[in-house]
Amino acid sequence: MINNNKGFSLLLAVFLLVVFGFIGVSIITMLSNQSVNSSEELISAQAFHLAESGVEWGIRESIDNGSCNNISGELRIKNQSGYATVNVRKISDNISSQPPANYSELCEVTSTGQINGIKRKLKVKFKR
């Protein structure tokens, strides 16, 4: 009986190279996807903070103007590649009968922060 194992070693070596190559490609793909996801999360957080800044700006503008009517604008912050679009509108008048009695308007601020195509939107209602 003749034992012929000459081709088996070569076949096993090729098989192992293919398997390890596939594992390597899979690991690289997973790592690059995690990198993209973490950078998108960072940009999303920055867009959220821009939207928060827009809400604060809208509330401040309504206080300075003495009314919530027709306040809108685009807020750009230095050293940011994004912006916030802000709209303030009056929801109702004469809410002074509701406690606390020193407010006259119910207003709503809508602010959308956007950086590199990623948007975060906030809506806030407040009494003025």
What CA–CA distance (Å, rounded) separates 124 from 101? 20
What CA–CA distance (Å, rounded) separates 16 from 2? 27
The answer to whether position 77 is within a domain reads yes
What CA–CA distance (Å, rounded) separates 75 from 9? 68
Q: Going residue by residue through the chain, which has 128 residues, state the pLDDT in tens, using 9 for 90 and above.
A: 556 666 788 888 899 999 999 999 998 888 877 776 788 888 999 999 999 999 999 999 888 888 888 788 887 776 578 889 999 988 876 655 555 556 678 889 999 999 988 999 999 998 87
Query: Which pLDDT belongs to residue 124?
Result: 94
Q: How far is CA 41 from CA 21, 32, 34, 61, 117, in A?
A: 30, 14, 10, 30, 13
The answer to whether position 32 is within a domain reads yes
What is the number of domains present in the chain?
A: 1
Is the four-CA dihedral 61, 90, 123, 74 of positive or negative sign?
negative
The answer to whether position 106 is within a domain reads yes
The answer to whether position 104 is within a domain reads yes
